[in-house]
């Protein structure tokens, strides 16, 4: 149920309670006033009737001597004092009533009684109750749209704050609510929430910028000495130690290059160099460059064929993209599948979709929930690594405008699905000799 309807329902319920409380108070106060006036009239009428009776010996003003309907409490009054009693009996248009009584003489003498009918006043009270009910319904009908409108204003502002927070959570660190949200409506709780979200975004942005700058600085500072180390290993005498040291230095150099690439992706300095290329051929070449035993399958067209990872796949689907970045994404996904999963690793190309699947333990739950994070592989059973391969693949997919989705198969294993954007509608397949070169150096 939307918030504005909850607020409107609460306002309507409050209005109903207020109207009910006021109606009950007015009803009770009016009923007490009617009875009090009736008792006063009964007392005054008995007094007047008694004066006339003492002078003339005849009851007057509607007074009666020992009437049969007289309430029991007044049939045997003590002394000569005037007394009143309420009679709730209703006979047609007569009743409820208030009786006033007084003995005309000493003890045992007749009782002079007067009956004051409250039926007209109580009828007016019922009309008053109906009028108040109608007035309350009319007021509620008028107030409810105002309550909905006011609640919608608050809900709209809260929705704007929620949208800003969602954009920040999605990676848009420049998203802000802005000061206009507070200036336009004064300072209230919604403005405080918006300002807090903006402060949180500022703090988060500063921390991420510091982290990214640190990553870029470390990578730049390490690039030269690592290059020197790699050159120095060439001077070592051949042997097991030289091979081990060279492999470790190459790993370190790859890490530095990955950090540099991530820093460029974080800074938004990467721009694709697009060319029209066959998807299957680029994917097959990217798999071949990894040097890992991977099965590549091309489907989705009449010319689809099952190819070995060392051969080029031929398919009718072409796409306008940056082949170097596409190779980088596929290569990282395949390497990640071999490093953290288990064989067999299969790559399936179907139209503009590339699926990389392994048969290992699958992606950890926190990676599927929050996405890949640098220097974090997520689970010990997925093996060692720096957690940069998926981060780079995701960043390069954003540069290409592609979608990279990570899932786990129902029967086990990790699945990475890359969906490339469709080509413009006015493009044509390349003619003979016009196909772009798919062989690009890896970053």
pLDDT tens-digit map of 44-92: 998 899 889 888 888 887 888 888 888 888 888 776 788 899 988 888 8
Kindly report, residue by residue over 93-128, the tens digit of the pLDDT: 887 999 999 888 877 788 889 999 999 999 999 999
pTM to 2 decimals?
0.50
Is residue 439 over pLDDT 70?
Answer: no
Cα separations in angstroms, 230 against 5, 223, 244, 245, 257: 68, 11, 12, 9, 14
> Residues near 27 by Cβ (< 8 Å), separated by ≥ 6?
125, 128, 129
| pLDDT (tens digit per residue) in 328-340 | 889 889 988 888 8
Per-residue model confidence (pLDDT) at position 355: 93
Give the residue with greater pLDDT, 372 vs 57. 57
pLDDT for 161 equals 87
**236 has a pLDDT exceeding 80:** no
State the average pLDDT for the chain.
79
Picking from 155, 157, 156, the residue whose alpha carbon sits closest to that of residue 187 is 157
Please give the average per-residue pLDDT across 219-223, as a whole number.
Answer: 68
Residue 27 has pLDDT above 70, yes or no: yes
More confident: 365 or 315: 365
Residues in Cβ contact with 172 at an 8 Å cutoff, skipping those fewer than 6 apart: none
Give the pLDDT band of residue 316 (cuts 50, 70, 90): very low
Yes or no: say if 112 and 127 are a contact pair by the CB < 8 Å rule: no
How far is 442 from 325, CA to CA, in rounded Å?
8
Tally the residues of the chain.
443
Residues 210-219, mean pLDDT to the nearest whole number: 71
Q: Is the pLDDT of residue 441 over 80?
A: no
Residue 352 pLDDT exceeds 50: yes
427 vs 69, more confident? 69
Q: Residue 344: which of 361, 358, 332 has the closest Cα?
A: 358
Find where tokens 């392994």 sit. 358
CA–CA dist 296, 433 (Å, integer): 25
**Is residue 237 within 8 Å of 246, Cβ to Cβ?**
no
Q: Which residues contact 352 (CB under 8 A, 6 or more apart)?
A: 279, 317, 319, 419, 420, 421, 422
Residue 318: enclosing H or E segment and its boundaries? strand 318-321
Q: What is the pLDDT of residue 186?
A: 59
pLDDT surpassing 80 at residue 208: no
Asked if pLDDT for residue 342 goes beyond 90, the answer is no
Computed on alpha carbons and rounded to an integer, the radius of gyration of the chain in Å comes to 46
Question: How far is Cα 376 from Cα 372, in angstroms, rounded to an integer?
Answer: 8
User: Which tokens is 304 given?
Assistant: 């689809």
């Amino acid at each position: 149920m939307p918030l504005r309807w909850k607020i409107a329902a609460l306002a309507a319920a409050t209005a109903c309670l207020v109207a009910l409380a006021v109606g009950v108070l007015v009803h009770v106060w009016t009923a007490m006033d009617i009875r009090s006036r009736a008792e006063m009239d009964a007392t005054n009428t008995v007094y007047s009737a008694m004066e006339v009776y003492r002078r003339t010996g005849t009851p007057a003003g509607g007074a009666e001597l020992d009437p049969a309907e007289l309430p029991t409490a007044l049939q045997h009054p003590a002394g000569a004092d005037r007394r009143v009693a309420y009679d709730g009996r209703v006979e047609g248009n007569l009743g409820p009533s208030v009786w006033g009584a007084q003995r005309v003489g000493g003890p045992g003498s007749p009782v002079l009684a007067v009956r004051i009918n409250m039926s007209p006043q109580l009828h007016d009270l019922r009309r008053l109750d109906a009028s108040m009910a109608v007035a309350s319904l009319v007021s509620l009908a008028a107030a409810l749209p105002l309550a909905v409108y006011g609640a919608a204003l608050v809900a709209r502002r809260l929705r704007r704050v929620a949208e800003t927070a969602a954009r920040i959570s999605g990676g848009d660190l420049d998203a802000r609510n802005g000061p206009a949200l507070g200036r336009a409506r004064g300072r209230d709780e919604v403005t405080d929430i918006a300002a807090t979200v903006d402060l949180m975004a500022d703090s988060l942005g500063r921390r991420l910028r510091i982290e990214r700058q640190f990553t870029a600085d470390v990578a730049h500072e390490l690039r030269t000495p690592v290059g020197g180390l790699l050159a120095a290993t060439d001077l070592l005498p051949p042997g097991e130690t030289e091979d081990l040291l060279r492999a470790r230095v190459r790993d370190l150099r790859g890490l530095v290059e990955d950090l540099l690439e991530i820093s460029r992706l974080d800074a938004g300095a990467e721009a694709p160099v697009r060319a029209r290329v066959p998807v299957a051929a680029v994917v097959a070449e990217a798999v071949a460059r990894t040097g890992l035993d991977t099965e590549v399958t091309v489907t989705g067209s009449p010319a689809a064929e099952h190819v070995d990872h060392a051969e080029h796949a031929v398919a009718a689907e072409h796409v306008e993209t940056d082949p170097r970045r596409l190779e980088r994404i596929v290569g990282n996904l395949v390497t990640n599948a071999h490093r953290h999963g288990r064989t067999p690793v299969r790559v399936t190309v179907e139209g503009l979709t590339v699926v990389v699947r392994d048969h290992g333990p699958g992606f950890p739950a926190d990676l599927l929930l929050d996405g890949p994070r640098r220097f974090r592989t997520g689970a010990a059973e997925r093996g060692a690594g720096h957690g940069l391969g998926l981060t780079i693949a995701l960043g390069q997919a954003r540069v290409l405008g592609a979608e990279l989705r990570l899932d786990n198969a129902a029967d086990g294993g990790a699945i990475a699905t890359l969906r490339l954007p469709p080509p413009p509608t006015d493009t044509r397949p390349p003619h003979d000799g016009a196909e772009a070169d798919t062989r690009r150096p890896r970053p």
